[in-house]
């Protein structure tokens, strides 16, 4: 009777993915290349520090953050210019220092400032959105060994949602490319 109660209350256990540890940054880089070449798409490499060349090794495309920042800068800068023009020569024209209403050189400072602000906000927000941040929880946190990713651990994780994912095949594959402590990460 008690057994039944426990089973009923326990939430479903699901598989998040497979985690494999590697010895160092170089091994991680080459392992990432092999995972990429094997056709996996939903995988990630974890290391305590950025590794040069990892983007290519993982087969990532160039980030579009730059374009987001550029468009945002253009929009906010244009808005700043428009607002100054509209307020000082359409809505409430005032003669200032004997200059024409539409004294556009005077708008440059605020336009420049807002363009820079637009670029900064565009870069920050698009980076957060594209990275899906902030993300307070991730399935990999169920893995005990994963805690080392911010200390001295180098890991590759392949997500369960990947089209090529198979609990047996993927584990064998990660072991074949030199992964150790290969672990199927499960949690609630």
36-55 residues in contact with other proteins (CB under 8 A) are: 52-53, 55
Name the one range near other proteins by CB under 8 A: 9-17, 30-38, 80-88, 102-110. Answer: 102-110
Rule CB under 8 A: say whether 105 interacts with other proteins. yes
Interface with other proteins includes 26 (CB under 8 A)?
no
Q: How far is the CB of 108 from other proteins (least distance, A)?
A: 7
The whole-angstrom separation of Cα 58 and Cα 28 is 10
CB of 41: closest distance to other proteins in angstroms? 22
Indicate which single residue of 64, 109, 129, 130 sits in contact with other proteins (rule: CB under 8 A).
109
Give the dihedral of Cα atoms 106, 110, 115, 117; nearest 10 deg.
170
Contacting other proteins (CB under 8 A), which of 24, 30, 64, 66?
66
Contact 128, 134 (CB under 8 A): yes
Distance (Å, whole) CA 13 – CA 188: 5
Q: How far is CA 22 from the centre of its chain?
A: 22
Helices within 87-185 (DSSP H only):
108-130, 167-176
Contact pick of 59, 70, 178, 187 for other proteins (by CB under 8 A): 70
Smallest separation (angstroms) from other proteins to the CB of 92: 20
Residues ≥6 apart with Cβ < 8 Å to 154: 21, 22, 23, 24, 25, 27, 28, 45, 46, 47
97 sits near other proteins (criterion: CB under 8 A): yes
Asked if 98 interacts with other proteins (CB under 8 A), we say yes
Q: Which tokens hold the place of 7?
A: 């089973």
In the complex, the residues that contact other proteins under the rule CB under 8 A are 52-53, 55, 66, 70, 97-99, 105-106, 108-109
């Amino acid at each position: 009777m008690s057994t039944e109660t426990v089973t009923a209350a326990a939430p479903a256990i699901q598989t998040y993915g497979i985690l494999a540890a590697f010895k160092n940054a170089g091994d991680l880089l080459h392992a990432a290349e092999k995972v990429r070449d094997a056709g996996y798409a939903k995988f990630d490499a974890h290391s305590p520090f950025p590794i040069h060349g990892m983007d290519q090794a993982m087969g990532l495309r160039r980030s579009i953050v730059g374009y987001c920042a550029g468009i945002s800068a253009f929009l906010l800068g244009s808005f700043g210019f428009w607002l100054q023009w509209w307020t000082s020569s359409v809505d409430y024209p005032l003669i200032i220092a004997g200059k024409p209403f539409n004294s556009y050189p005077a708008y440059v400072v605020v336009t420049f400032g807002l363009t820079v602000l637009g670029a900064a906000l565009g870069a920050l927000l698009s980076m957060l959105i594209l990275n899906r941040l902030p993300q307070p929880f991730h399935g990999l946190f169920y893995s005990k060994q994963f805690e080392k990713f911010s200390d001295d651990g180098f890991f590759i994780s392949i997500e369960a949602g990947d089209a090529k994912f198979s609990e047996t095949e993927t584990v064998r594959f990660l072991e074949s490319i030199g992964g150790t402590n290969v672990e199927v990460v499960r949690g609630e």
